[in-house]
């Protein structure tokens, strides 16, 4: 029987260094000679077909429109960037990759700008063999940033603004829970 795969999820807020950590983890596999492939969603198009970290490190990536574009090819090591952008089908895709004995690395925002569980990330984290939960520096008070603050036209984005805005009138920064602002939160 083929050895079982392994799932390592790298979760955190904006500016927590997820891609840098992914590239660091992947670079360790150089000693094995395993072929690897990084997938990213077309929504996440700022760096084209590259996974690029704030440390300046980068790796080639394959851009896909949805989870059906991920087949792993003949690679032992598979990485998927920004999993929160993907459809529900990503969960089955990842389980198939694991059954095939692959080593799967996933990065993503654990929480959306409202501080709520984001897309398929909670499910993937529950299936993980290992989770790296990264933090950032709060851009307001310089405390420990664990939330992603959305800002539209210089103001904190309201609760009812759309989850994913394509085209970028919005801007994101890391905040601690005390500085995280979501105007219009139900029950607040
Ligand atoms: Zn703060």
pLDDT tens digits for range 49-60: 899 898 889 899
pLDDT tens digits for range 142-151: 999 999 999 9
Question: Measured in angstroms, how far is the CA atom of residue 183 from the centroid of ligand 1?
Answer: 16
Mean pLDDT, all residues of the chain: 93
Mean pLDDT by 10 residues, the chain (188 residues): 89 96 95 94 84 89 96 95 96 97 97 96 98 98 97 92 72 96 90
Question: Measured in angstroms, how far is the CA atom of residue 39 from the centroid of ligand 1?
Answer: 33
DSSP string, 59-71: EE-EEESSGGG--
| Ordered domains of the chain (ranges, CATH) | 6-135 (3.40.50.300)
Residue 82 annotated as catalytic? yes
80-100: burial string, b at 16+ Cβ within 10 Å, e else: bbbbbbbeeebbebbeebbee
Question: What pLDDT is recorded for position 170?
Answer: 79
Q: What are phi and psi of 127, to 5 degrees?
A: -95, -5
């Amino acid at each position: 029987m083929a050895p079982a795969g392994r799932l390592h999820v790298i979760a955190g807020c904006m500016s927590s260094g997820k891609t840098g950590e992914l590239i660091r983890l992947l670079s360790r596999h150089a000693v094995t000679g395993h072929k690897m492939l990084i997938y990213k969603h077309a929504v996440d198009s700022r760096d084209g077909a590259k996974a690029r970290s704030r440390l300046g490190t980068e790796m080639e990536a394959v851009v896909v429109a949805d989870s059906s574009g991920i087949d792993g090819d003949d690679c032992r090591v598979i990485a998927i960037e920004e999993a929160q952008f993907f459809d529900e089908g990503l969960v089955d895709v990842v389980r198939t990759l694991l059954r095939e004995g692959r080593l799967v690395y996933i990065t993503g925002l654990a929480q959306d700008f409202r501080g709520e569980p984001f897309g398929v990330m909670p499910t993937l984290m529950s299936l993980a063999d290992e989770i790296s939960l990264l933090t950032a520096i709060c851009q307001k008070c310089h405390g420990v940033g664990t939330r992603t603050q959305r800002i539209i036209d210089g103001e904190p984005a309201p609760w009812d603004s759309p989850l994913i805005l394509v085209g970028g009138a919005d801007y994101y920064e890391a905040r601690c829970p005390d500085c995280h602002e979501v105007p219009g939160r139900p029950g607040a």
